Chain A
Amino acid sequence: MAVAAQRAVSRNDPCPCGSGRRFKDCHGSLRGDAPAVPLPPRPVRRSRYRPAGEDWASLDEGEQDRLGVLMEVALAHQRAARMREAESAYRAVLEQAPRTHDALHMLGVVRLGLGDFPDAERLIREARALRPSYPAIETNWSLVQRTIAARDRSGVEILAEHALPLLCARIAGERSAVPSKADDAPQPLHVVGVAGEATRDAVWVSRRIGELLSGLQPTAWHGDDPAAATAWQGFDSRLIDPAAGRQPAAGDVVLASLECETDSWLREPLRRVLVFVQAMSPSWCLERLRRVAADGKRPVALVFTSRTMASRFGVVDYVVPPPIDLAEFMQAGDADRAPSSVLRVAAVGQDGRRVIAASDAVLLQTAAEQAGELRLFDPGPLRYSLGSLPAVRCFSRREIDIGGMLRGADVYLHRALPWWAEDSGRALFGAMAQGMPVLCPRESLYAEYVDDGVDGFICADGSSALAAIETLRADRARLRAMAEAARAKAMRLFEPRALANAYASVVEQWRIAA
């Protein structure tokens, strides 16, 4: 809108100095007789933005122009997800004209995006008072109200987080009261998992646990909607259908995921259940564990994939490494493709379990610009904030698998999420197996598997992750050494025979102990 005015003065236009002569005969003269007085600074851009209200009416034309341009600049920043820049431009407008409803409104939206709900509510309320029943303001007003209500509900998760160890302690306490079955003949073993799309985390975990326990010759079951899939991907499992009498009959039950539905078929209270726990939101964990444990009546033991995860539940029954399949990640990356000034950083947007908000977009943006290339798998809402950056390459999970995306990368950035929003570590450990150092937040469930400075970096915050990227970008020899260490560790942790033994021995220990 202001671009036309930004162009150079045409040679036939009146001279901006106000002399009344044409530009080419005055300051624009090519004959060397231009006036010695320098041309007065001309407003670089003009803006048509003129809101109603006393604030603006009292300003002179030049100031109105300046603020109008600022508003346009702010809006452009906001659209490009440069929230901090947008904020300072809106604030500059409000300093001169504090009753500019558009600036109050849009600054409120920016603050909402940055997570400052009270400030957002205050700003949009003020805008609303200045400009009643304006549809856009009303829309964002109801958005801020709903967001605040949703935040209040998320207090439930915090409460559930504290309740988890209490419930687990109760389950553990009840376990000793179960009569021993040591004298009985060996019980049949049932493994129950989730069927569905291969991209989904719980489905992948189910299949892997089925494979790792296959030496124990269990019967594999899935309980999902029959329309969703026929069986575990690449694994022969039966559909649980209690109405037709098809369900795990007597014997011990291994749940490959807490996502498995159990209410319809798991009825005998004294039946032993072993659960391979994947992190899910604390309230889900609570509800599922409570049901599986029949409110404490049924003996339940839990298997975790890290000690950190076990500590969140307050019990350490069994800990095994995540069920990573090295065969998925055996192809080495194409080490020579990128110029040596570029570090190819890989990250995952969503993990096939939940739609994750783009909370760390600013860090990812900085990482992309600093490293030179960010490869983003299943970007989800990150497409909005990062999609137009030249350094970002997005990969849909529908077109490529995670191993394929990792193949073109040098280093893997594990995003900092609440512990219960982390996936089962498939990308993190897959990256190590493929020969990539990993950048792992200190709070991650899997940080205990990373040796800081050896096969990855443990990052206290975003800026230490950026420092690690810079280190690896500048020092190729270090990158290669750490890559080799990462690969060696993955080969050791997930060596197929050893991993299968670890999983099988957990199940056998449990059957003896219970």
Chain B
Amino acid sequence: MHVWQSHLGENVAFDPLYHTNPRHEIMSFLRDPPGTVLDIGCGGGMTGQLIKHKFPGTPVIGIEINAHAAEHARQHLDHVVCAGIDDVELARDAPGYVVSTVLLLDVLEHIYDPWRALQRVAGWLVPETRVLASVPNVRNLATLSELAGGRFEYAPNGVLDITHVRFFTRSSLRDLFEQTGFEVRGLEPLTQPALIDPVIVHRRPGRIETRSLGIQYRSFEDLEDLYALQYVIDARSRGAARAAA
């Protein structure tokens, strides 16, 4: 069976491995108690569970479009809204919650219009609300090397997950947030040497080579970007009035 047959369409099975993947690396961005957390695309609620483990007593509410996943999430989170972002009205669907941290973990790349979705989310938030989002980095060395070698093949998961419809690099990710009502405070590459090192066949200062590609990098930051399979963007909402502008 091909990936598109098993992973696209109306009758895609609920995959516990996909929807119940807790995000340990995201927790590293929560150094202090985060206040009430809104996890958009919360899947089975595993990340909320981690938050409650690291910061006991933290209220976590979730939004999840997949009904099976939302059902799982209800066992872990304080409140779960089963709907897509476009159909949610936070004040109506989760009354009484004042959100201080929003998580958008591997969500934006699945949405056809992430710009309007972010604008919508910005409208729910008071100014200075923290937003942490993770988004795949299409400019990672493994994907670049494959593309240079003539391969751009969708897979069941990873950067070229067949359900991804948008692709971002460091600068376009920054633009995405700055154009939709947010101020970007940090943009951290999540590097994975275990997956990138094996692709490299030769290296010297300022340059790395794979089987199909040689790349000159200008700085350590640049090198880190090539090693990053995803970015975590740390942003603050500017407030509804600015978002609408």
B-contacting residues of A (Cβ < 8 Å)?
A: 1, 3-4, 75, 79-81, 113, 135-136, 139, 143, 146-147, 149-150, 153, 196-197, 199-200, 224-225, 227-228, 259, 261, 280, 283-284, 287-288, 352-357, 376, 379-381, 383-390, 392-396, 398-399
Q: Which residues of A contact B157 (CB under 8 A)?
A: 136
Q: Give the complex CA separation of A225 and B205 in angstroms.
A: 13
Q: Give the complex CA separation of A224 and B217 in angstroms.
A: 11
Say whether B24 contacts A388, CB under 8 Å: yes
Residues of B162-179 at the interface with A, using a CB-CB cut-off of 8 Å, are none
Q: Give the complex CA separation of A73 and B234 in angstroms.
A: 32
From B80-88, B122-130, B193-201, give the one contacting chain A.
B193-201
Least distance between A393 CB and chain B CB atoms (Å): 5
Least distance between B216 CB and chain A CB atoms (Å): 9
Known interface pairs A197-B220, A398-B188; A357-B24 also in contact (CB < 8 Å): no
Q: Give the complex CA separation of A355 and B199 in angstroms.
A: 14
Say whether A225 contacts B218, CB under 8 Å: yes
Say whether A200 contacts B219, CB under 8 Å: yes
Q: Which residues of A contact B16 (CB under 8 A)?
A: 1
Q: Which residues of B contact A380 (CB under 8 A)?
A: 191
Q: Give the complex CA separation of A80 and B21 in angstroms.
A: 10
From B26-34, B97-105, B110-118, give the one contacting chain A.
B26-34
Least distance between B132 CB and chain A CB atoms (Å): 12
Q: Contacting A390 at CB < 8 Å: which of B53, B156, B197?
A: B53
Q: Which residues of A contact B192 (CB under 8 A)?
A: 381, 384
Closest to B26 in A: A387
| A–B complex contacts, Cβ < 8 Å, 19 sampled | A136-B157, A153-B201, A197-B220, A199-B220, A261-B206, A284-B205, A355-B193, A355-B224, A381-B191, A381-B193, A381-B194, A383-B25, A386-B24, A387-B29, A388-B28, A389-B54, A390-B54, A393-B31, A396-B188
Q: Which residues of A contact B53 (CB under 8 A)?
A: 388, 390
Q: Give the complex CA separation of A283 and B201 in angstroms.
A: 13
Least distance between A386 CB and chain B CB atoms (Å): 7
Known interface pairs A228-B219, A355-B227; A394-B29 also in contact (CB < 8 Å): yes
Q: Which residues of B contact A354 (CB under 8 A)?
A: 220, 223
Q: Contacting A197 at CB < 8 Å: which of B27, B201, B221?
A: B221
Least distance between B15 CB and chain A CB atoms (Å): 11
Q: Contacting B190 at CB < 8 Å: which of A135, A143, A383, A386?
A: A383
Least distance between A258 CB and chain B CB atoms (Å): 8
Q: Which residues of B contact A261 (CB under 8 A)?
A: 206
Least distance between A346 CB and chain B CB atoms (Å): 14
Known interface pairs A1-B16, A80-B24, A393-B31; A143-B191 also in contact (CB < 8 Å): no
Q: Which residues of A contact B218 (CB under 8 A)?
A: 224-225, 227-228
A-B contact sample (20 more), CB < 8 A, given A387-B28, A395-B31: A1-B72, A139-B158, A146-B198, A150-B198, A153-B201, A196-B219, A196-B220, A197-B219, A200-B219, A227-B218, A284-B205, A288-B205, A354-B223, A357-B193, A384-B190, A385-B24, A387-B24, A387-B27, A388-B50, A396-B186
